[in-house]
Amino acid sequence: MELNRRTVIAGAAAAGVAATALGGTAYAAPGRGRPARTLFGRLADGTKVHSWALENGGTRMEVLSYGGIVRSLEIPDRRGRYTNVSLGFGTLEEYVASSPYFGALIGRYGNRIDKGRFTLDGTAYQLSVNDGENTLHGGAQGFDKRVWDVEPFTRGSDVGLHLYYTSVDGEMGYPGTLRTKVTYTLTRDGDWRVDYEATTDRATVVNLTSHVYWNLAGEGSGSIHDHELTVDASRYTPVDAGLIPTGELARVAATPFDFRRAKPVGRDIRTAHQQVLYGQGFDHNWVLDKGITARPEHVATLRDPSSGRTLRIATNEPGLQFYSGNFLDGTLVGTSGRVYRQGDGLCLETQHFPDSPNQPSFPSTVLRPGRTYRTTTVHSFGA
C-alpha cells in the first residue's frame, strides 16, 4: 500500500496525537500515553516502515523505524503555539531517495574517517567510501538507512522507544558484530533524552549520534541565521579541504568559532576565514570544555528570538559537531511543502571527534568485546 502524507497525518490524528503542524496549530493541553504506531510506508522489498507518535510534558514527536528518524518534533512557543522544529519529509520515498540525514540515527561512525581507512590492533580496514574519498556517517548504507526493531515503553512518568539494530561483522567494512540499542525517552518535563548502547564481539570503532536539523521558528520557515547559539568550548578541531581534522585543537578566541557567549549563527558566517570557507559555513567539531563526563552536562544552548523557543543540550560526550545546513541547496521540499535552502536548519551532533581512528591524540573510539559503549544526550526545550 502506498501511503501519502495525508494518510499519515490522518493516522497520527486517529491515534490521538497531533499531526505535523502546518504553520503553528493550537493544541489541547499536553498529554501522555502509550506510544502509538501507524504504517508509514514500505521499502522496495516490501519491508514495512512504521511511524511512532510519542507525547509527554508538552513535547510531541514522531519517529520512524527507518533510520530511527525523528520525522517531527513539536514544541510550543512563548504563547503556547506548537510547531514542528525538526526538518524532514512527508513520505518514506523521499527519505529513501536522498536525504541529508534528516533526523536520523548515525552509525557506526558519526562524521568522517579519512579515506575510509584505519588500523586497529595491527589490522588495516577499508570502509565503504561515500563522501569523495572519505567515509561519512558510517558509509553508503549507514544506520540512517536501516530498519530498526522498535519496542515502546512507559516507565514511571517517562514514555519512549527502544530501537535495536545489529550490524553484522564486516558491514560497511567495520570489524565485529555490533549490537546497538538506542533509547528515545520523553520525560515528564518534555525533555528528549537519547541513550546509546553498543557491544561488539571483535575490537571495533563506534561513534553514534543523531542528525536532527533544528529550526526553532518551525521547519520551512526560513533561515536559522538569527538563532543565537552558545557552545561551551574554547577549542575546535580545524579541518582540511575535505573536512578531515588536521589533528590540531585550535582556540576559538578571536575567530568566527567563538560561541562561548550567545551569538547569532549568521553573525560571522560570511567572514573570509579559511575554516569557514572549507565548511561553506560552520561544519566543525567543537571540543567541549567539560571533556568526557560520567553524566550528561550542559554544553550548548540554541534560542530563536522570534518565537522564544530554546533548546538546551547536555551530553557526556567530548565533542559537538555544529553544522549550519550548508549543503541544503533548494532542491528538497520539506514536511510542510516548503523548499529548504542553505541555512534553513542546523545540526548539533554530540559525538567523539571526527576521524578519531586515525588521530592518536583524540579521545579513543575503540570498543572491545566485554565492554559496553554508553553515551547520553538530553535535549531540553523551553520558551
- Residues acting as catalytic residues: 211, 349
* Of residues 35 and 319, the one with the C-beta less far from ligand GLA: 319
Q: Is 323 in the site for ligand GLA (CB under 6 A)?
A: yes
- Asked if residue 347 binds ligand GLA (CB under 6 A), the reply is yes
Q: Is 243 in the site for ligand GLA (CB under 6 A)?
A: yes
Long-range contact pairs involving 45-48 (C-beta distance under 8 Å, separation at least 24): 47/147
Q: How far is the CB of 354 from ligand GLA (least distance, A)?
A: 7
What's the CA gap between 260 and 94, in Å, rounded? Answer: 37
Which is nearer to ligand GLA, 134 or 167 (by Cβ)?
A: 134
Q: Nearest approach, Cβ of 144 to ligand GLA (angstroms)?
A: 10
- 114 forms part of the interface with ligand GLA (CB under 6 A): no
Which one of residues 95, 101, 174, 286 is an interface residue with ligand GLA (CB under 6 A)? 101
Piece of 41-49, 113-121, 302-310, 321-329 that binds ligand GLA (CB under 6 A): 321-329
Torsion sign, CA atoms 110, 243, 192, 9: negative
Of the candidates 269, 241, 244, the residue with the CA atom closest to the CA atom of residue 255 = 269
- When the beta carbons of 101 and 353 are compared against ligand GLA, the nearer one is 101
Q: Which residues lie across from 381 on neighbouring strands?
A: 311
Nearer to ligand GLA by Cβ, of 200 and 237: the residue is: 237
Interaction residues for ligand GLA, span 161-220 (CB under 6 A): none
78, 383 contact by CB (below 8 A): yes
- Among 20, 38, 56, 111, interactor with ligand GLA by CB under 6 A: 111
Q: How far is the CB of 32 from ligand GLA (least distance, A)?
A: 33
Distance CA 216, CA 381 (A): 10
Which residue of 153, 262, 327, 329 would you call a contact of ligand GLA, by CB under 6 A? Answer: 327
Q: Which of 56, 86, 316, 321 binds ligand GLA (CB under 6 A)?
A: 321
Residue whose entry in the numeric block shows the C-alpha cell 536559522:
224
Q: Does 313 sit near ligand GLA (CB under 6 A)?
A: no
Which residue's CB is nearer to ligand GLA, number 74 or number 283? 283
According to the binding rule CB under 6 A, does residue 282 interact with ligand GLA?
Answer: no
When binding is defined by CB under 6 A, the residue of 36, 136, 172, 299 that contacts ligand GLA is: 136
CB of 14 to ligand GLA, least distance (A): 34
Stretch binding ligand GLA (CB under 6 A), from 145-153, 171-179, 233-241, 319-327: 319-327
* Greatest Cα pair distance in the chain: 59
Residue found under cell 501519502: 4
Rule CB under 6 A: is residue 100 a binding residue for ligand GLA?
Answer: yes
Q: How far is the CB of 176 from ligand GLA (least distance, A)?
A: 24
The residue among 82 and 214 lying less far from ligand GLA, judged by its C-beta, is 214
Using CB under 6 A as the binding rule, the residues of this chain from 66 to 85 that contact ligand GLA are: none
Where does this chain bind ligand GLA (CB under 6 A)? Answer: 100-101, 111, 136, 243, 283, 321, 323, 327, 347
